[in-house]
Structure 1
Amino acid sequence: MADLKRMKLLIGWASTVITWRNNSDEVRAAIEVTVNLNCLYPGDYIELKYRAREELINYKIQLVQVASNLGKKGGIWYFICPSTGKRCRTLYSDGRYFVSRHAFKGTLYESQTYSKTYRSIASMYGPIYKVREAFDELKKPYAKTFYRGKLTPKARKLFKWQQLYNVKHDIELRSIEDYLLSTVS
C-alpha cells in the first residue's frame, strides 16, 4: 500500500506498469497495476495483470478505506486479501497470486524460531539495540516526540525500551556487585 501511495496511484483512477530489471538492464518481470477508487465503476479495487510461469494472470483485489485515528486527516487504505478476506497493508506473492501473510500456512515471525537460550540472552541485551533503533527513528527529519501534547508512538517506544534497558542494566550491575562482594567476604 505504501508503494501505491508513493507512486501517487491512490487518486481516483490511475494505471502504470512496474518493471524489475537485472544488472544488465534487461526486464526480468513486469506487472500492470490499475487502481480504481470509485470513479468509473462501483467499488474500490486494484487490478493486477502479469505473467507467472508463462501464464497470463489478471485479477482484482478489493480496497477499503478506514477512518484515520488522527481526526479529520482522511482515511487509511487496506487491501482485502483475495485468499483469506482479511484486511492487510502488504501483499506477498505465493508464486502465482498476491495474498496476505495469513494465507501462508505455517509461517512464523523470525523471533519465533529462536531457541529459549537465545531469547533469554536477547531479553537481557536486546533493549540496548532497541533503544538505539528507536532513537534513530526519532532522529529522522519529520519525526516528532509529541503530537497534540501526547507522546507519539515512536517516542513511547523509545521511552519503553529506555526504561527496560535501565531495569536490565541495573539488575546486571547489582548481580555483578553482589558476586564481587560475596567472593571478597
Structure 2
Amino acid sequence: MTLISILALSAVGAVFGGLLGWASKTLKVAGDPRVDELEGMLPGGQCGQCGEPGCRQAAEAMVAGKLGPDCCPPGGRSLAQSISSMLGVALSGDGEDVMVVAHIDESQCSGCTRCFKACPFDAIVGANRQMHTVIRHVCTGCRLCEKACPQGCLSMQPVAPELHTWQWPKPRVA
C-alpha cells in the first residue's frame, strides 16, 4: 500500500514537473535585457521622484525613451552619465550637481518619525519621541525626508569630496 502511494505521487510529480517545464518554455515573455541592467544600476529605493512608481518602471520608461537618463535625483550625475552611455543617449544639460546628504538638527528634533518613515533607503535611525540621526553613507540625498519633516530641523548639506567619492573634473572645451 505504501509503495503504491509513493509511485502514484512520484508519477503525479513527474507529470506536473513536465507540464511546468513545457509551460516555462512556450509561455516565456521575452523582455529587453537592458531593462534588467538599468534596474540594477538604479538605487532601488522606489522613491517615485522620477514620476514612476518604482525603479523597474523607470528603467522600462528609460529604455522606451519616455524618461531621460537624468530622471533619478538620488542617483545623481554619475548615474545619469552611466545610463546615458549605456543607452547611447545624450544628457540634457552639462551642469555638475552637488551631492547632498540629510542632516538633522538633533536639538530641535521631536521624534515624530515622519522623516524616518519617508526615507526609502532606511538611512534615518531613531524611534518615536526619540532623537533621530542620519547614516551618511546610506543617504542618497533624495530629499523625501526633508519634505516630510514638520519641524524644519532636517536640512540637506553638501557632501565634501572624500577619497572614494572624488572624481576628476571633465575638461572644458575652449
TM-score range, shorter chain: under 0.3
Normalized per residue, the structure richer in strand is 1
| TM norm structure 2 | 0.20
Q: TM-score, normalised by structure 1?
A: 0.19
